[in-house]
Amino acid sequence: MSAAASAPPREFRMTTTIGRSKVFGTVGFTVLALLVSVHGAGRFPDPARDSSRAAAKDIQTAVLAGGCFWGVEAVFEQLTGVVDVVSGYAGGPEKSAHYEMVGTGQTGHAESVKITYDASQVTYGQLLKVFFSVAHDPTELNRQGPDEGPQYRSSIFYGNEEQKQIATAYIAQINEAKVFKKRIATTVVPLQGFFAAEDYHQNYLKLHPTQPYIVYNDLPKLDALKAQLPELMKPELLKKKGGTK
């Protein structure tokens, strides 16, 4: 089943309180609001507390939720040290980890990404810096731009105590520094399970770069990453427009 033939347009996705007919009235809202906040505050701060860079290849995983997983997945695929990114669902049971069910907002899941990375090349804290600064707007509660409902919430699903401590410390640091006009809404919760989304959701931005939802809501995130954090990107992607593969 090919992605191009099977993927339902994002503008027709099911949500709890907002119809797809409203998408283009608020396109790019999340990205624009986030970039204004960050640019107004100057350079986004590095996490004061972070994991140590591994001395040798050390493959680890991180699970993050920041609204529609299409754009979040694409952002993290650009980073040096990231081996793989999978779109999926976290926060609910396996039996209801299906697109149509998650879209009701009643399963407990959040659209999430599982990032597999080499800790000798990128740290957990650096991943969180990208997550908070360009991947989504961490001040929005149960929504991201045109997408509304608990399945679009901002959440960090930690896999161990170190990840929990780094995440909670970074949120406190950002709040204290007043990087954003509003306080961080991101929750930090233990990972109970991650379930990969349907095949047509994987690599969606790469396969559908001209879809209106992608153009207005997700490609600006890649531009922001290239402009703000080029040192974290894979060198070969810096030469490409928007950093897309």
Q: Which of 134, 183, 181 has the alpha carbon at shortest distance from 40?
A: 181
The b-or-e profile of 199-217 (16+ CB within 10 A means b, else e) is ebbbbbbeebeebebbebb
Q: Which residue has the tokens 């959440």?
A: 155
| Identified catalytic residue from 7, 35, 68, 167 | 68
Q: Which of 92, 99, 25, 44 has the alpha carbon at shortest distance from 69?
A: 99
SS3 221: helix
Rg (CA), the chain: 17
SS3 25: helix
E-assigned strands of the chain?
59-66, 82-90, 110-118, 143-144, 147-148, 154-158, 187-190, 194-196
Paired sense of beta strands 82-90 and 194-196, if any? antiparallel
Q: Residue 68 catalytic? A: yes
d(CA 116, CA 162): 17
Catalytic residues: 68
